Chain A
Amino acid sequence: MRIESFDPRARVTFYVCLTTAVLVVNDLRVLAGLALLGIGALLFARVPWERMKRIWLGAAIFIALITALNLLFRSPVEAAQQALRAVAMAAASLAVVLTFDPADLGITFRRMGFPDRFAFALDLTARFVPTLIRDFQITIDAQRARGYELESRDRSLKGMLTVGRRFVPLIVPVVVRAVLDAEDRANAMDLRAFGTGPRTWLQTLHLRPRDYVLVAASFALLAGGIAARLLLG
């Protein structure tokens, strides 16, 4: 059995309940349990390491940074809390996001009660992430062909600010293009009668017994988290 075999609504419910519980709970033992649950979900998702190693590298830097800041300015307990929270949320996010079929995004939220427009906006977001990445790569190439180099050997604050400014030739073309293209995309949607009335969604979703079990377990997890917060502080 794979994580994808659960209905996407059940997976989203699990994710929301787990992350809410992680944010509510302060007790280190419970947080550790939730972190293990997140890692368990990720293992269950069987996402290839190659696909997520760069994301984990970024997450590890972030976790190390917030842990260090908490150690410096707060306490070791708070540092451990934040680190466990970050691990649990990162693992659960990867487990759900990397196994989610983008074509199911809209219908999932529509069937969870969100309006057509909101649900389709999520579909559109999934559709345009690869386009944005491609446009960004083309812009990087176009500016490098004009002798542009991002690297700055100056590691001082001023050097970092210089690097920040040097992103402008990369960011502006991508943003301007996205804004200009949005008009064409809105026109394309208008021309196919989007938003003129109630729409049919082609995909169908079916909740099976295992999905009900996962949803019930997710709410139990959330209730447990709230109870832990109330009882253990």
Chain B
Amino acid sequence: MAINITGLSYTYANRAAPALRDVTLDFRPGEVTLVVGRSGSGKTTLIRCINGLIPHSYKNGTLHGEIRCFDQSTAGLSLAQLARRVGTVMQDPDKQIVASRVLNEIAFGLENIGLPRERIVARVHEVARQLRIEHLLDRDTHTLSGGEQQKVVIAATLAMQPRALLLDEPLASLDLPSARTALALFRRLADEGIAVVLVEHRVAEALRVAPERCVALHDGSVAFDGDTAGFRAWLDARHKTQDDGASPVSRPASSVNSASLLSFYDVHFAYPGASGEQLGGVSFDVREGDVIALMGPNGAGKSTLCKMAIGLLRPARGRVIVAGEDAARLTVAQLARKVGYVFQNPAAMLFANTLREELSFGPRNVGMPEDRMREAIADALETVGLSHLSLDQSPFGLSFGQQKRVAVAGVLAMQPRVLILDEPTAGLDDGAAEDLLCRLLRAARGPQAIVMVTHDLALARRFANRVVLMAGGRIVADGPPRDTLENDEAMRRAGLIAAEPLASG
């Protein structure tokens, strides 16, 4: 047995409810165990207990139960000793990279345990070869893409030669091709004898790794523990019980007769110093009633295109028309009255002491009268499902999911006609993401069109009435989901179908 957990309970300091309740699990070498659960179900706490952050770094909580790691109780092991047995890859690779250069990053743990220099160099090159990232060794870490960062973090973890690998939502910042490459790598590592524990929100995607076991946590307890077939059956049964019988939340597709809210005409753009164009002649319309999933690999130009809509970037060539007006003649503030843009991470925008101040920031900037603003804020909070919160409350005391809803409400309160959501599901579990989108689509006084920049195929299938696929700065397909997502050639060009089978690694 690689890791054996018996009767584990943990309560964080200053919290009344335990984060884990009497959890008993084991993880075996050569197996991938998929651990799922909604936000707050205890997944990350479980990882922290196994890797020793609890109790070494989180000292003031209350811990009961026992964890044995390769037949030795972790209670008697230091963090350094544990780090050589159990490697951890956390959710955001950018937050784990501590060195300026890839070579130094992979070497960091080995330097800390005082290995001789020659052995460090040999091991860094060995692991880089294993993960096929030798070409990255001399790169500055801040120039890496999300997928490259993920590989470097995994390499740095594997360099310590752990016998178990804990992966806390490793797919969260990856586009589909990178996510599938990462999953293939996890499978390969397990096949080589490592015990892989994969904690993931993107359940459908994670199941492609063919886990030997699946564990579902609910409210700190183990709700399911069994094989993949049993897990699928358990998931189906849960979906049936939770289905409230509401009609599918989708809007009818727009027609060519619908009013155009946002149009791009032959838009070209290149970042200063870049070798090629980021957008190479993009033309398309966002019409009233559209719920568009804008998809494609990282670097396809999706975010660049959306920033054009609100004037954060201006086309080098071509035109952007917003509600009948040329965007070139409007300031960002003027465009913000018509097009709302919600950034991926709510932490990028929350700043105020109270929700009232936070939510009135946008409307006030665009000169909305006070009485209309109060009404718009109430509507926005209702739409995102936070109307029960006090406006005097601080946004910083809310959970990540609630902060994300506040960020959406802050933009909705400006009453834009088009709402752009950059990765609306990032950091949210499936249930929370679906709930937010259902609410947006059902809102009577919501935006007239929604554009979602997303890597999530399930989201596109369920909510979008139009899918726009981008690759290499161009649109490669545009149409109803059933046509676009079945277009294998376009899907392959947009990196949404793996060019190689998952298990090949």
Give the interface of A toward B (CB within 8 A): 102-103, 105, 123-124, 126-127, 130-131, 134-135, 138-139, 141-149, 168-173, 176-177, 180-181, 184-204
A202 touches B361 (CB 8 A): no
A126 to B141, CA, bound (A): 11
Judging by beta carbons under 8 Å apart, are B396 and A176 in contact? yes
> Does B333 lie within 8 Å of A192, measured CB to CB?
no
Choice from A131, A138, A148, A176 contacting B343 with Cβ under 8 Å:
A138
Q: Give B29 Cβ to nearest chain A Cβ, in Å.
A: 20
Give the complex CA separation of A169 and B410 in angstroms. Answer: 13
User: Please, how many angstroms separate the alpha-carbon atoms of A197 and B160 in the complex?
Assistant: 16
- CA of A200 to CA of B411 in the docked complex: distance in angstroms? 50
What's the least CB distance linking B347 to chain A, in Å?
Answer: 5
Q: A180-B347, A196-B80, A202-B103 are in contact. Are A147 and B113 (CB under 8 A)?
A: no
Most chain B CB atoms below 10 A, which of A123, A126, A189, A194: A194
Whether A103 and B104, one on each chain, are in contact in the complex, defined by CB atoms closer than 8 angstroms, is: yes
- Is B120 in the interface zone, CB < 8 Å from A? yes
Given contacts A176-B347, A190-B79, A202-B120, 16 further A-B pairs with CB under 8 A are: A127-B142, A131-B94, A138-B345, A141-B307, A145-B340, A146-B361, A146-B365, A147-B332, A172-B351, A184-B90, A184-B92, A191-B79, A196-B112, A197-B112, A200-B116, A202-B107
Selecting from B50-58, B201-209, B440-448, B484-492, the interface stretch reads B50-58
Whether the pair A102, B100 counts as a contact (CB closer than 8 A) is: yes
Separation of A228 and B51 alpha carbons in the complex (Å)? 60
Question: What is the CA–CA distance of A202 and B106 in the complex, to the nearest angstrom?
Answer: 11
A146 and B336: CB pair below 8 A? Answer: yes
Alpha-carbon distance A139/B52, docked complex (angstroms)? 34
Chain B residues closer than 8 Å to A171, beta-carbon distance:
351
Complex Cα spacing A215 to B336, Å = 58
Which residues from B are CB-within-8-Å of A144? 312, 332-333, 336
B108 at the A/B interface (Cβ < 8 Å)?
Answer: yes
Q: Is the CB of B94 within 8 A of A177?
A: no
Please give, as numbers and ranges, the residues of chain A lying within 8 Å of B114 by CB-CB distance: 197-200
Q: Are B343 and A142 in contact (CB under 8 A)?
A: yes
**Minimum CB distance partner of B407 in chain A:** A142
Please state if B343 and A169 are interface contacts (CB–CB under 8 Å): no
Query: A110 CB to closest chain B CB, in angstroms?
Result: 11
Compute how far the CA of A134 lies from the CA of B146 in the bound complex, rounded to whole angstroms. Answer: 14
Known: A176-B347, A176-B396, A186-B57. A145 touches B336 (CB 8 A): yes
Interface residues in B, total, Cβ within 8 A: 69
Whether the Cβ atoms of A173 and B112 lie closer than 8 Å is no
A173 touches B349 (CB 8 A): yes
Q: A145-B312, A145-B341 are in contact. Are A187 and B53 (CB under 8 A)?
A: yes
Tell whether B95 is near chain A: CB-to-CB under 8 Å.
Answer: yes
What's the minimum C-beta distance from A61 to chain B, rounded to whole angstroms? 24
Q: Are B113 and A196 in contact (CB under 8 A)?
A: yes
Q: Write out, one digit per residue, whether chain B residues 67-81 have a CB within 8 A of any chain A CB (1) or not (0).
A: 000000000001110
Taking CB atoms, residues of chain B closer than 8 Å to A141 are 307, 312, 343
Q: When the two chains form their complex, are residues B83 and A123 in contact, meaning their CB atoms are under 8 A apart? A: no
**Nearest B-chain residue to A202, judged by Cβ:** B107
The answer to whether A185 touches B121 (Cβ under 8 A) is: no
Is B310's beta carbon under 8 Å from chain A? yes
Cβ-based interface call for B110 (8 A): yes
Complex: A141 Cα to B422 Cα, angstroms: 13
- Cβ–Cβ < 8 Å partners of B345 in chain A: 138
State whether B365 touches A192 (Cβ < 8 A): no
Question: B260 to chain A: which residues have CB within 8 Å?
Answer: none
Verify B160–A192 contact, CB threshold 8 A: yes
B88 within 8 A of A: yes
A-B contact pairs, 5 of them (CB 8 A): A131-B142, A139-B349, A176-B396, A195-B112, A196-B80
The chain B residue sitting closest to A188, CB to CB, is B96
Against A, the Cβ 8 Å flags (1 = close, 0 = not) of B328-355 are 0001110011001101010111111000
Which residues of chain A come closer than 8 Å to B52, judged between CB atoms? 191
Answer whether A188 and B142 are a contact pair too, CB < 8 Å, given A127-B100, A193-B113, A198-B114.
Answer: no
Cβ of B366 within 8 Å of any chain A Cβ, yes or no, is yes
Does B115 sit within 8 A of A, measured CB to CB?
Answer: yes
Q: Do A147 and B333 touch (CB < 8 A)?
A: yes
**B383 → chain A, closest Cβ, in Å?**
17
A184 to chain B: closest residue by CB: B95
| In the complex, B109 has a CB within 8 A of chain A | yes
Query: Most chain-A Cβ atoms within 10 A of its Cβ — which of B84, B90, B336, B347?
Result: B347
Interface residues of B in 445-494 (CB under 8 A from A): none
| Docked CA distance A201–B337 (Å) | 54
Shortest distance from the beta carbon of A166 to any chain B beta carbon, whole Å:
10
Within 8 A of A (CB), among B309-336: 310, 312, 331-333, 336
* A191–B111 CB distance below 8 A: no
B78: A residues at CB distance < 8 A: 196
A199 touches B365 (CB 8 A): no
Chain A residues with CB under 8 Å of B396's CB are 176
B195 adjacent to chain A (CB < 8 Å): no
A176 to B352, CA, bound (A): 11
Given contacts A127-B99, A138-B348, A180-B347, contact A199 B88 (CB under 8 A): no
Q: Do A193 and B109 touch (CB < 8 A)?
A: yes
B480 to A: closest C-beta gap in Å: 29
Q: Is the CB of B117 within 8 A of A193?
A: no
Query: Which residue of the partner chain A has the closest CB to B156?
Result: A192
| B362 on the A face (CB < 8 A) | yes
* A70→B272 CA distance, assembly (Å): 41
Residues of B within 8 A of A168 (CB): 351
Whether A142 pairs with B120 at a CB distance below 8 angstroms is: no
- Contact between A191 and B333 (Cβ–Cβ < 8 Å)? no
The distance from the CB of A127 to the nearest CB of chain B, in whole angstroms, is: 5
User: Which residues of chain A are within 8 angstroms of B107 by Cβ–Cβ distance?
Assistant: 202
Interface pair B111/A202, CB less than 8 Å apart: yes
Rounded to whole Å, the gap between the CB of A150 and the closest CB of chain B is 11
Any A CB within 8 A of the CB of B414 = yes
B98 contacts the other chain (CB 8 A): yes
A172 to B347, CA, bound (A): 10
Flag if A191 contacts B414 (CB, 8 Å): no
Residues of chain B within 8 A of A198, CB atoms compared: 114
**Residue B101 at the chain A interface, CB threshold 8 Å:** yes
CA distance A198 to B103 in the complex (A): 20
Are B79 and A200 in touch, CB under 8 angstroms? no
Q: B97: which A residues are within 8 A, CB to CB? A: 127
B366 CB → nearest A CB, Å:
4
Shortest B83–chain A CB gap in Å is 5
Query: In the complex, what's the smallest C-beta–C-beta distance from A148 to chain B, in angstroms?
Result: 5
Residues of B within 8 A of A185 (CB): 95-96, 98
Q: Are B347 and A177 in contact (CB under 8 A)?
A: yes
Chain B hits for A191, CB < 8 A:
51-53, 79, 83, 87-88
